[in-house]
Amino acid sequence: MSEQSKGAQAPGFDPHAAWRAIRSDWKFILSTGLATGLVGYGLSHLIPPTYTARTTFISPQQQQNTAAAALASLGALSGLTGAATGIKSPADQYVALMKSVTLSDRIIEQFALSKVYDSKYMMDARKELGDNVRITAGRKDNLISIDVDDHDPERAAAMANAYVTELRKLTNGLAVTEAQQRRMFFQQQMEGTRDQMVTAQVRLQETGFTAGALKNEPKAAAEIYARTKAEVSATEIRLAALRQRLANSAPEVQQALSALSALRGQLTQMELPGTSSGNQDYVSAYRDYKYREALFEIFSRQFELAKTDEAREGTLIQVLDVATPPEKRSKPKRSSLAMLAMMVGIVGAVTRAVFRLR
């Protein structure tokens, strides 16, 4: 058994013999490593240099708006403040916007990157652009950095700055912030109410004015009617906003439904016909006009507050560091490539010396 075990171990690896072989060939190993290192360093000059330009800006933050207190005073409309929920991380949203297809295509067209990247299709140019651009958001400092790699230092800096410019243009056309969303919502409501108010005014003028209408004191009745109907419309809007976020069984939705039912009941009582049809036509037209006028005033006030909040928070992108043409290349790192080539050469020479023992 001992002879068989010795015979089985005989062709195995002998570390002492391998060490002796390496020591005897140390000059060859060292010269091979130096030679491959020099070759790697020389070949690195054949790789086109890459320059990296960086720009940094402060991510716009959504601030607490001044319309919240005003909406709260309107009762039913106060729920609209929760209709447009804020973004959990605004910085991530702006990073996603800069990585969007729309903004990428603008950068590609502006700098003719399809020719630069020798890409036949737009999707290939987008992929190449994505590989050469790194957009990161700081979790603690609220800064967004844009790093652009390019073989031309001037173009790298121009592309980095163009991302900020195009982001400004993109956000100005989108309702990104909560204030912008409110502004667009109340603008639509205000425009629709304005047209309805003009129609109600024409209808009121067509009814004429009679002495009997004066006895009905339409002004006081119309103001109460307008207030009630405005509350009905506001409650309906609040209910629609709540249903976008909550189920019908939610307490908030049920409470809004109960309030809406009660207000509609009051409105139905007010709309019961009177004794004189002619006077009733005038009173109804006057009520409708005052309702549209009150509703238009509510929406106008909220629209102006939303514009104020938008101007205050806006999408003001404050650039901290403007990208400038880099003076030194970022790639290739020739010393690292030379060290890697030298290590490969040394490993190859050591492997050759060890295998010569067999």
The pLDDT value recorded for residue 239 is: 79
Strand partners, 331: 50
Rounded CA-CA distance 123/141 in Å is 34
* 37-46, 77-86, 157-166, 225-234: the lowest-pLDDT one: 77-86
Structural contact between residues 221 and 235, judged by C-beta atoms closer than 8 angstroms: no
* 242 and 257 housed in the same domain: yes
* 93 and 151 housed in the same domain: yes
- Euclidean distance between the first and final Cα of the chain, in Å? 25
* Position with higher pLDDT, 63 vs 221: 221
Structural contact between residues 197 and 289, judged by C-beta atoms closer than 8 angstroms: yes
Q: Could you tell me if residue 88 is inside a domain?
A: yes
Kindly indicate the confidence band of residue 262, based on its pLDDT and cuts at 50, 70 and 90. Answer: confident
The total number of structural domains that make up the chain: 3
Q: Could you tell me if residue 346 is inside a domain?
A: yes
Rounded CA-CA distance 270/179 in Å is 37
* 62 and 161 housed in the same domain: yes
Structural contact between residues 332 and 44, judged by C-beta atoms closer than 8 angstroms: yes
Q: Could you tell me if residue 274 is inside a domain?
A: yes
* 116 and 203 housed in the same domain: no
Rounded CA-CA distance 250/243 in Å is 9
- 148 DSSP assignment: E
Q: Could you tell me if residue 113 is inside a domain?
A: yes
Q: How confident is the model over 199-215, as a mean pLDDT?
A: 62
Q: Could you tell me if residue 218 is inside a domain?
A: yes
* Position with higher pLDDT, 31 vs 176: 31
Report the chain's mean pLDDT, rounded to a whole number.
75
* 17 and 62 housed in the same domain: no
348 φψ region: left (φ > 0), alpha (ψ -120 to 50), beta (else): alpha
Rounded CA-CA distance 159/153 in Å is 10
Closest CA to 339 of 39, 13, 29, 6: 39
Tokens 């009582």 map to which residue? 269
Q: Could you tell me if residue 328 is inside a domain?
A: no
Q: Beta strands of 234-295 (E only): which ranges?
A: none
Contacts of 91 (CB under 8 A, 6+ apart): 59, 137, 138, 142, 144
* 23 and 139 housed in the same domain: no
Structural contact between residues 11 and 327, judged by C-beta atoms closer than 8 angstroms: no
**What is residue 56's three-state secondary structure?**
strand
Tokens 């189920």 map to which residue? 247
* 108-122, 137-151, 174-188, 313-327: the lowest-pLDDT one: 174-188
- CATH number, domain of 130, equals 3.30.1890
Q: Beta strands of the chain (E only): which ranges?
A: 51-58, 133-137, 143-150, 318-321
* 305 and 190 housed in the same domain: yes
Most confident of the ranges 28-37, 196-205, 235-244, 256-265: 256-265
The pLDDT value recorded for residue 125 is: 93
* 118 and 27 housed in the same domain: no
Q: What range defines the domain where residue 193 resides? A: 178-313
Half-sphere exposure of residue 181: CA atoms within 13 angstroms, side-chain side: 14
Q: Could you tell me if residue 39 is inside a domain?
A: yes
Rounded CA-CA distance 99/94 in Å is 9
* 182 and 283 housed in the same domain: yes
* 154 and 206 housed in the same domain: no
Closest CA to 299 of 86, 77, 81, 82: 77
**What is residue 117's three-state secondary structure?**
coil
Q: Could you tell me if residue 327 is inside a domain?
A: no
* 202 and 187 housed in the same domain: yes
pLDDT at 85 over 80: no
